[in-house]
């Protein structure tokens, strides 16, 4: 949900300053009474009218977002550790996993341990 604009908050505070009750202002602007009280309190205590917009931190893999798909396209059998080594950069393997999910890319799964050899080795399935 996006924060209300500075202009909208100003309109709400102007209505409050004209002597309307919190409930009347909330009903008129179709917002909650608690939000109106919070806006009034922020102005009173912090002299603040604008909302506090928080910015998301840019992920460490973001500068590599062009190079990662190229590497995956060239070598789709890369493991995450091999991808990290190819990029020669500091994002962790876990961050690269998130990057691949966000970029909607997949890498081939490789088993790191050897197979146990108990499975069938021929496709015929019949006895010799």
- Distance, in Å, from the CA atom of 9 to the CA atom of 32, rounded to the nearest integer, reads 13
Radius of gyration of the CA atoms of the chain, in A: 29
In the chain, what percentage of residues exceed pLDDT 90? 23
**What band does 27 get if pLDDT is binned at 50, 70 and 90?**
very high
Task: Flag whether pLDDT at 126 surpasses 80.
Answer: no
What's the pLDDT tens digit per position in 91-119?
888 888 888 888 888 776 655 556 666 65
What average pLDDT does range 65-93 have in this prediction? Answer: 86
């Amino acid at each position: 949900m996006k924060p209300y604009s500075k202009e909208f908050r100003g309109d709400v505070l102007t209505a409050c300053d004209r002597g309307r009750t919190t409930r009347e202002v909330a009903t008129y602007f179709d917002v909650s009474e608690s939000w109106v009280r919070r806006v009034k309190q922020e102005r009173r205590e912090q002299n603040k009218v604008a909302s506090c917009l928080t910015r998301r931190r840019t992920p460490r893999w973001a500068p590599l977002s062009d190079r990662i798909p190229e590497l995956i396209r060239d070598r789709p059998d890369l493991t995450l550790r091999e991808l990290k080594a190819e990029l020669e950069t500091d994002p962790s393997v876990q961050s690269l996993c998130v990057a691949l999910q966000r970029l909607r890319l997949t890498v081939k799964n490789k088993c790191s341990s050897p197979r146990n050899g108990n499975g069938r080795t021929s496709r015929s399935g019949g006895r010799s």
